[in-house]
Amino acid sequence: MDILNYIDGTLVGPRSDAWLDSVEPATGTVHARLPRSNADDVQAAVEAAERAFPMWSALTAAQRSEIMLAIARGIKERFDELAEAESMDQGKPVWLAKAMDIPRAVDNISFFATEILHTHTRAFETNTSVINYTLRQPIGVVGCISPWNLPLYLFTWKIAPALAAGNCVVAKPSELTPLTAFLFSQICIDAGLPPGVLNIVHGLGAECGKAIVAHPKTKAISFTGGTVTGADIARTAAPMFKKLSLELGGKNPTLVFADVDVDAVAKKVARASFTNQGEICLCGSRIFVQRPIYDAFKQALLREIATITVGDPRETTSRNGALVSEQHLEKVLSYIDLARAEGGTVLCGGERVHLEGRCANGYFVAPTLIEGLGTECRVNQEEIFGPVATIIPFDTEDEALRGANSTTYGLAASVWTNDVSRVHRVARLLESGIVWVNTWLERDLRTPFGGVKSSGVGREGGEEALRFFTEAKNVCIQF
């Protein structure tokens, strides 16, 4: 199968005729090829976006909303096909793509398509003869670059507010997971999205992604991916004074206090650590447990992890599927080796899983829990982004906070306790953009989403996203 670029309303191959292979991680086989786009393809996409901008930005919010809602309906109509494609490309179970990724893509588009019907701007009455009002105007051509872990989910999370606010977009999904973005381009054509409003260019980050960031006409870049890539993007974009939204890596703490129901919380903590093979930037990878329940909680967690079946993503019985690529598999396994070298004890997992039949060459890793590592060691400092978590005892709230805040990251934390005063104290002191209490991955699309420290700059979600994709212009009138 050939995956094609979506430029100026049409599906086209790369101008250089260079292609990349797309591998199914559950089987290790090539299932498609995709364009290895370069700066020429990006140039064509930017020109198409520039041509479309005057028309798209002049539509009323209601007109843009109508087209976007047609896109959301198009995703629903191809729901099963998209879920199967996401699973094939990324390695996650089909049931998970159906429960999480594809519904969320529908919600992303519908949410911003309707949010723009209810926004307002501000006015300031300076005195009886001077009034100011503030316009929020679309920026123009913007770039959206997304990663491989939640492909369509994160791709639409960026594109939806950009388009809703009246911008035209040049977007690049991860080269590892291009398939649902390609199907999405077909859906946009069928929904009647005018040519050039959205352009999707496939290829390598260092070539095609970099060309989007470096292009002087892309006035804002919304990026989700690794911290090192984010720093590279910032270096390229800063001299051109582009607006930047960077959603980067995490090393998220899970804080379990002694007053919880051990078995019930162990179940939820296992989900928070290992969903999507641990390949969610929000997964809790460092589990801090208060000493009085440490042993009981550890045993309950191990019992829960034992129920996580690793298997063929097509099977409904597989709770975890394959890691996204062979390279990522090697990275995750190397961190498990490092944990042993740093003095950690592997309590469960710790190795590649070899399946039989169709998935014999797939990239599967058993969910792994490690204890005995200090908070400062590399395994507790660096993002692994796989089914690997550490468990660490603590005595006091202060000690738990010191441990939680001890990394350069600050994306999401979860706190498990029934003490309401502690909840408020701890939530304020966690160095983190998101704090979940007695829950995890509970998302309300109106809330600000993003990290502090090395986890990013800026916030997505709700009005934060619409603010990012617009410029404020103040108009002051004397009358």
Do 443 and 466 meet the contact criterion of CB atoms below 8 Å apart? no
Distance between CA 88 and CA 459 in Å, rounded?
Answer: 31
Query: How many residues would you count in the chain?
Result: 479
Give the type of residue at 425: R
Q: What minimum distance in Å lies between the beta carbon of 61 and ligand NDP?
A: 27
Which of 364-379 are b and which e, b meaning 16 or more Cβ less than 10 Å from the residue's Cβ?
bbbbbbbbebebebeb
Q: What minimum distance in Å lies between the beta carbon of 129 and ligand NDP?
A: 47
Nearest to 19 by CA among 6, 40, 4, 39: 4
| Residue number of the CB atom closest to ligand NDP | 205
Q: What minimum distance in Å lies between the beta carbon of 330 and ligand NDP?
A: 14
- The one catalytic residue among 24, 84, 175, 247: 247
Do 271 and 440 meet the contact criterion of CB atoms below 8 Å apart? yes
CA dist 44 → 48, 50, 158, 212, 235 (Å): 6, 10, 21, 11, 24
Q: What minimum distance in Å lies between the beta carbon of 154 and ligand NDP?
A: 6
Residue 443: CA count within 13 A, CB half-sphere: 19
- The one catalytic residue among 168, 188, 281, 283: 281
Distance between CA 364 and CA 310 in Å, rounded?
Answer: 7
CA dist 253 → 175, 341, 372 (Å): 30, 22, 16
Q: What minimum distance in Å lies between the beta carbon of 183 and ligand NDP?
A: 17
12/441 with CB nearer ligand NDP:
441
Site residues, ligand NDP (CB under 6 A): 145-149, 154, 172, 174-176, 204-206, 209-210, 213, 224-226, 229, 232-233, 247-250, 281, 383, 385, 411, 451, 455-456
Catalytic residue status for 281: yes
67/430 with CB nearer ligand NDP:
430
Distance between CA 304 and CA 371 in Å, rounded?
Answer: 16
3-state secondary structure (DSSP) of residue 341? helix
Q: What are the helix (H) ranges across 116-204?
A: 151-164, 179-191
Residue 311: CA count within 13 A, CB half-sphere: 11
Q: What minimum distance in Å lies between the beta carbon of 91 and ligand NDP?
A: 13
67/142 with CB nearer ligand NDP:
142
What are the residues facing 369 on neighbouring strands?
348, 389
Q: What's the first-to-final CA gap in the chain, in angstroms?
A: 64
- Which token pair is 19? 């292609």
Catalytic residue status for 247: yes
CA dist 14 → 20, 131, 175, 201 (Å): 11, 52, 14, 9
46/233 with CB nearer ligand NDP:
233
3-state secondary structure (DSSP) of residue 313? coil
Distance between CA 345 and CA 339 in Å, rounded?
Answer: 8
Distance between CA 234 and CA 247 in Å, rounded?
Answer: 12
74/91 with CB nearer ligand NDP:
91
Tell how many helices (H) and how many strands (E) occur in the chain: 15, 22
Catalytic residues: 247, 281
